[in-house]
Amino acid sequence: MWSRGESSTGLRAAEPAELAIRKETFMHIGLSSRRVVRCSLALALFTAAAHGGTWTKVTNNAPSAVNLMLLLSDGTVMCAKNNGSTIGNGWVRLTPNAAGSYIGGTWTTLASMADTRLYYSAQVLKDGRVFVAGGEYGTGTAKSEVYNPLTNTWTAAPVPTTLMDPSLNSPVTGSAQCFYDSNSEILPNGNVIVTPVCPKTSRQSLIYNPTTNTWAQGPNIFRGSYQDEASWVKLPDDTILTIDPFGTFSERYNPVSNTWINDGIVPVSLYDSIVFELGGAVLLPNGKAFFLGSTGHTAIYTPTGTTSPGTWIAGPDIPSGKGTPDAPCAMMVNGKVLCAVSPIPTAANNFPSPTTFYEFDYTSNSFTSVNAPVGASDNRATYTTAMLTLPDGNVLYSHMGTDVYVYQPGGTPLAAGKPVIQSITSNGDGSYHLTGTGLNGLSEGASYGDDLQMNSNYPLVRCLHSNGNTYYGRTFNWSSTSVMTGNKVLSTEFTFPSMPAGSFQLVVVGNGFASDPAAPGSVASNPGNKVGCPGGSVSFSVTGAGTPSLSYQWRRGATNLTNNGHYSGVNSPVLSISGLTAADAGSNYNCVVSNAVGSSASNNASLSYCAADFTCDLQVDDSDFVAFANAYNLFFCTDPGMAAGCPADLNSDGIVDDSDFVLFADAYSQFLCS
């Protein structure tokens, strides 16, 4: 971010020295001071947009002015405390209320960073921690650290002086080597690539490894000296697209080859010639990238999906002579882009106000004006504003004030963005493994550029309880932060939130798009009744339904059965019982089918015991009479020649006598066991 001119309503902030250097076709001849705006506006609680969506103020003000907002993997929002004049190191958290509403959310204070920062690299890591590096202002310009939400602590991520030495000047800028307001992006392997603005060597990039907490040299950018004021867009093939400062060339980072590669030429200039700024950039639902320019021009990029250059065309100009000199935008679930804009910079007013808003519709290639949070505009420069795509499909908006707003887009979410849950399995340690498609949404969410990164392309888990409350679990170790992943199966680990007993519906959310609820374990077909014979075996079967993986527990009544030689398959769809005796007869065999989100018990099935069917052919006939007669002649059950278990002792008195014959004769007369 280049310096912003001083105004009567702002304070001048400290500037690092920079050399005036040639950047492609532009020459910077000195820097103006930063304009810091501090406004106190009496804002209403609710304002309807003239077109499109509606704005609603978050009911409770933040404890202090906030700027950058990051979505944590438990559904809460981590907000940096910065009012633009006091460079801070503090953070606060916005937690949605019981209904899952951020509008009614509450604020709490989080641990502070070790260093103060304003305008810096930030990424939510694949394990759910938060990475920050650099700062255009503050004490952390050449430092990085990582926040752990589970312990509410920050840990330093030291940069070796072999990669960045703040005691030495950068050969590119002439000021101390540092990250400054560097761009960053999560790579497929979970590492973070960062391009310092004041690098140790020209064209330098650095790569941070969160697993080892170490830094390494990255590949040189394709052209120029650094990536300053640029906006990056992650494409569906995981390459990262940027328009090189401060002209019309473009390039991409290819994570497969770990190289920056040349790409096409942009047909219009997006960097302004006053302060050389750019706006945000997003991936559209049609797979094209949309860049907003400080000049008021826009550009649209169509990727090839290969290492060959894509194609650029000019997009529609922002209406009414507006531009985006450091301005946020957000991809919404209805497929439109919410854009903050202002008048185009001039030599007399580098960062003009007010901020106004448009929705860009890629299907009509047009802009539509929408209201500001209050009234027609927000009386401040766009660089003070920030956006974040929320998991409920809305957009959170801050402007370096304590008042924060939610924009609810009109229309319905795009069907193409809907995630699908395929399976949920227990990890055995209290956490679960969820697989599915479309878990990250269609884009990275909101965008600003080099000064703020607030990507939210990762899965969250949300539970709607039968008590009417909404609870977010905590996801971690996402398999991917790729975008527009189609039918590719992705995964995440998660833990359930603390919830009261009762039923609930679980959905996975990717950048505001929610899946259908995971189907609880249920019974698709019940076990049938069975008939068994002495010493024989039977099997009961059940068909389970619901989101995998399914668990089974066979029971007699409410008592769980265990595998013991007599019973087998008690935790499978098929229960087998062998060595049948009269004690196995009953009408209370059932199975509970369950998964991570619910369970259901089958109907009871009965086991009839046909005691006189000694030959186990489900009928009492002459062959059984012969078997009974042999036992009758032996008389005592203890006789060595007696069949095991003495099945002919039908009244269980230890002998086979006339009373047993009466019972056998009755069964013989009925013939069929059923």
The pLDDT of residue 480 is above 70: yes
pLDDT band at 22 (very low <50, low <70, confident <90, very high): very low
Assign domain 522-609 to its CATH architecture.
Sandwich (2.60)
Residue-wise pLDDT for 170-229, tens only, equals: 999 999 999 999 999 999 999 999 999 999 999 999 999 999 999 999 999 999 999 999
Q: What are the domain boundaries of the chain?
A: 22-417, 420-441+462-514, 522-609, 622-670
Q: What percent of the chain has pLDDT over 90?
A: 81
pLDDT band at 561 (very low <50, low <70, confident <90, very high): very high
The pLDDT of residue 442 is above 90: yes
The pLDDT of residue 3 is above 50: no
Q: Contact at 8 Å (CB) between 433 and 425? A: yes
pLDDT value of position 642: 78
pLDDT value of position 671: 66
Assign domain 22-417 to its CATH architecture.
7 Propeller (2.130)
Average pLDDT, the chain: 90
Q: Contact at 8 Å (CB) between 67 and 84? A: yes
| Stretch (H or E) spanning 658 | helix 658-670
Residue-wise pLDDT for 484-536, tens only, equals: 999 999 999 999 999 999 999 999 999 999 999 999 999 999 999 999 989 89
Q: Cα separation of 399 and 671, whole Å? A: 87
Q: Summarize the chain as % helix, strand, coil (round to 5).
A: 5, 35, 60
pLDDT value of position 612: 77
Q: Cα separation of 177 and 171, whole Å? A: 9
Rg, the chain, Cα only: 34
Which of 35-39, 210-214, 372-376 has the lowest average pLDDT? Answer: 35-39
Q: Contact at 8 Å (CB) between 497 and 575? A: no
pLDDT value of position 268: 98
0.95 surpassed by pTM: no
* CA distances for 356 relative to 35, 174, 344, angstroms: 19, 37, 12
pLDDT value of position 193: 98
What is the residue type of 262? N
Q: Cα separation of 241 and 233, whole Å? A: 5
Residue 350's contacts (CB-CB under 8 Å, 6 or more residues apart) are 4, 5, 32, 35, 274, 275, 325
Exposure string of 585-622, with b = 16+ CB inside 10 Å and e = fewer, is eeeebbbbbbbbbbbbbbebbebbbbbbbbbbeebbee
pLDDT band at 459 (very low <50, low <70, confident <90, very high): very high
